[in-house]
Amino acid sequence: MNCHHINRGFLTFVVFLCLLFLTNFPSSAQSFELKSPAFVSGSMIPSLYTCEGKNISPPLTWSGVPAGTKSFVLICDDPDAPVLTWVHWVYYNIPAAVTSLPEAFSKTEKPALGGLHGKSSFGDFGYGGPCPPWGTHRYFFKLYALDTMLTLPSGVKKKDLLKAMDKHVLGKAELMGTYKKK
């Protein structure tokens, strides 16, 4: 009897068992996703949500929240800006029970839904829409699931928020849209 054939047969059997196990017991883990009914990731953001429209925030929804999530952080920025990355939205301490933000979300310092707004590169609370000076820019909506509520005052900037988030991120979901002025 050839040992090579026995090992090969055994390996085939093990692979078969693994595939059988994986197909009969689907994973209960759901990936953390951020979506918008207004646009698909990688596509153009409708002008309604830009400086050429009403400059309101697009509706956002998320699912597959990591276990142990205590709060969320939402950051929207444009890495294609002429000088550094332009920050369009900073929103943190979003309650863990929240799984969506409506269109035209509040631009107040402390939204009724909970959480706190930081300051964007515009110097404002809340969302400031795309308004690229030239060319097509990318806008990244990044949602972080944290294992804590942050002890920060309202009005912080992205840099300070990222520092406070360090070692508390359980997961990250991202939605990217593009925009070019007409």
Summarize pLDDT for 32-71 with one digit per residue, the tens.
999 999 999 999 999 999 999 999 999 999 999 999 999 9
- The total domain count for the chain is 1
Summarize pLDDT for 149-161 with one digit per residue, the tens.
999 999 999 999 9
User: Would you state the pLDDT for residue 26?
Assistant: 39
127 falls in which pLDDT band (50, 70, 90)?
very high
Whole-number Å distance between alpha carbons of 88 and 120? 5
Range(s) of the domain holding residue 90? 30-179
83 falls in which pLDDT band (50, 70, 90)?
confident
- Measuring CA to CA, which residue among 33, 103, 115, 111 is closest to residue 73? 115
DSSP 162: H
Whole-number Å distance between alpha carbons of 166 and 163? 5
Contact 57, 49 (CB under 8 A): yes
Answer whether residue 7 is part of any domain. Answer: no
Residue 137 reports pLDDT greater than 60 = yes
Which of 23-27, 84-88, 135-139 shows the lowest mean pLDDT across its residues?
A: 23-27
Whole-number Å distance between alpha carbons of 47 and 177? 12
Contact 67, 82 (CB under 8 A): no
Answer whether residue 74 is part of any domain. Answer: yes
Which of 10-14, 141-145, 157-161 shows the lowest mean pLDDT across its residues?
A: 10-14
Answer whether residue 44 is part of any domain. Answer: yes
Whole-number Å distance between alpha carbons of 75 and 57? 12
Q: What is the CATH number of the domain that holds 106?
A: 3.90.280.10
Answer whether residue 4 is part of any domain. Answer: no
Answer whether residue 20 is part of any domain. Answer: no
* pTM (2 d.p.): 0.84
DSSP three-state, residue 172: strand
User: Would you state the pLDDT for residue 19?
Assistant: 39
Whole-number Å distance between alpha carbons of 106 and 171? 25
Answer whether residue 114 is part of any domain. Answer: yes
Give residue for tokens 């002890």: 151
Q: What is the percentage of the chain residues whose pLDDT exceeds 70?
A: 84
Answer whether residue 37 is part of any domain. Answer: yes
User: Would you state the pLDDT for residue 14?
Assistant: 42
